[in-house]
Amino acid sequence: MSNTIDTWTLNFRPEGGGRITGSLTVTDEDVQFSSGDLEDDIVLPRSDIAKAEAAKRLLMKRVVVTMKDGQSLVFEYGLLSVAGIVEAIAIGA
pLDDT tens for each residue of 32-86? 999 999 999 999 999 999 999 999 999 999 999 999 999 999 999 999 999 999 9
Q: Domains in the chain, ordered, with CATH?
A: 4-90 (2.30.29.30)
- Residue 49 near residue 89, CB atoms below 8 Å: yes
DSSP string, 57-87: ETTEEEEEEEETTS-EEEEE-TTS--HHHHH
Q: Given this model, what pLDDT does residue 92 score?
A: 56
- Give the model's confidence band at 2: pLDDT under 50 very low, under 70 low, under 90 confident, else very high: confident
- Single pTM value for the model: 0.91
Q: Given this model, what pLDDT does residue 93 score?
A: 54
Give the number of other Cβ atoms within 10 Å of residue 87's Cβ: 14
Among 6, 3, 13, 2, which Cα is nearest to 87's? 6
Q: Given this model, what pLDDT does residue 63 score?
A: 98
- Give the model's confidence band at 30: pLDDT under 50 very low, under 70 low, under 90 confident, else very high: very high
